[in-house]
Amino acid sequence: MSYELSHLRELEAESIHIMREVAAEFENPALMFSGGKDSIVMLRLAEKAFSPAKIPYPVLHIDTGHNFKEVIDFRDRRTAEVGARLIVASVQDTIDQGRVAEETGARASRNRLQTTTLLDAIEEHRFDALFGGARRDEEKARAKERVYSFRDDFGQWDPKAQRPELWNLYNGRIKMGEHIRVFPISNWTELDIWQYIADDKVDIPSIYFAHQRRVFERDGMLLAENDFVERMEGEEVFEETVRYRTVGDITITGAVESAADTVDKIIEEVAATRQTERGATRADDRVSEAAMEDRKKEGYF
């Protein structure tokens, strides 16, 4: 018997340790679930961490209303399967309450608005810890973020005042009104996620696999034809075989041309790709060099 774990099993153990630590030390945690592959793996890890008991915290979805239908169906099915309580916080409600104003024009998105919805949900439900599926390989501001990311009363991240994080000893002490964002899959890469999905036969929404879709091109990305985006002049819709590398709002998530219709083919594609997933498919990170850092400081994930 060799006393070595494969890299996936070591990553899994680290994540499970973090998820149990939060369950033990916080009063009112919740698991953020977007229906994307990272949050799906995170939900799977939570299932493993507490088996045979149910996951001892609810699942929170920030619903922008600009979703892929396949993803919402998947969310409902999967949370029912694991027996978790699903809390949906809706950006539309936040708009209707006059807390934020809808952006207008062809480039309007609700990406930025969801921060307010999230912070409102945290306050309403008095969450003291929120699990997020962010990975450090995704983006350079995230590469600097702790597993336990301290947020003040306003949900803000202060990159210069992060708590040192050593060994597997996490400091979850907070005052009333503050909370911790917890990133249990910080050390996973995109390829690790896919290998794990293959290894563990994790179910994922169909839009990750190659399919026919009506799309149009904008800023070098293929956006899905949908009811929420006004097309600009010259943006013609055409049919293409595509798949999604990330799942965000339908208004800002680009598809990639791909014929990969199985997990194994996706792994081959990911291993050979020369673009980061956010660079290739997310309009929200293209705004500036520090787009992610700025949004995180405001309370975004």
**Residue 9 to residue 15: CA distance in whole angstroms:** 10
* Residue 65, Ramachandran bin (φ over 0: left; ψ between -120 and 50: alpha; else beta): left
Torsion of CA 77, 131, 44, 135, to 10 degrees: 120
Record the tokens describing residue 188, joined without a space: 């996973």
279 binds other proteins (CB under 8 A): yes
> Distance between CA 301 and CA 297 in Å, rounded?
9
Between 50 and 209, CB nearer to other proteins: 50
Q: Which of 90, 189, 226, 241 binds other proteins (CB under 8 A)?
A: 189
Task: For other proteins, give the closer residue by CB, 47 or 261.
Answer: 47
> Both tokens of residue 274?
């020369």
* 267 forms part of the interface with other proteins (CB under 8 A): no
In whole angstroms, how close is the CB of 258 to other proteins at the nearest point? 17
Rounded Cα distance between 271 and 286, Å, is: 23
Q: Minimum CB separation from other proteins for residue 9, in Å? A: 8
- 48-67 positions binding other proteins, by CB under 8 A: 48-54
Tell me if 27 contacts other proteins by CB under 8 A. no
- Closer Cβ to other proteins, 86 or 291, answer by number: 291
Nearer to other proteins, 95 or 270 (CB): 270
Number of Cα atoms under 13 Å in the Cβ half of residue 238: 10
Q: Is 187 in the site for other proteins (CB under 8 A)?
A: yes
Q: Which residues contact 35 (CB under 8 A, 6 or more apart)?
A: 61, 67, 68, 71, 72, 74, 75, 205, 247
Q: How many residues of this chain interact with other proteins, rule: CB under 8 A?
A: 64
Which member of 85, 126, 154, 191 binds other proteins (CB under 8 A)? 191
Of 28, 47, 177, 206, which lies in the binding site for other proteins, with binding defined by CB under 8 A?
47
Measure the CA–CA gap between 78 and 64, rounded to whole angstroms: 19
> With contact defined as beta carbons under 8 Å apart, do 203 and 196 qualify?
no
Binding mask 119-138 for other proteins (x = CB under 8 A): -----------------xx-
DSSP secondary structure of 155-181 = ----GGGPPP-BTTB------TT-EEE
7 scored as a contact of other proteins (CB under 8 A): yes
Among 2, 27, 105, 233, binds other proteins (CB under 8 A): 2
Residue 174 as a binder of other proteins (CB under 8 A): the answer is yes
Q: Please, which residue, 104 or 288, has the CB nearer to other proteins?
A: 288
Residue 93 found at the interface with other proteins (CB under 8 A): no
**156 lies in the site for other proteins, by CB under 8 A:** no
Of 46 and 91, which has the nearer Cβ to other proteins? Answer: 46
Round to whole Å and give the CA distance between 153 and 163.
16
Q: Residue 186 interacts with other proteins (CB under 8 A)?
A: yes
Q: Is 85 in the site for other proteins (CB under 8 A)?
A: no
Token output for 260? 């990969």
Q: Give dist(CA 139, CA 60) in Å, integer.
A: 23
Binding site for other proteins (CB under 8 A): 1-14, 16-17, 20-21, 23-24, 47-54, 136-137, 140-144, 159-160, 162-171, 173-175, 186-187, 189, 191-192, 273-276, 279-280, 289-290, 293
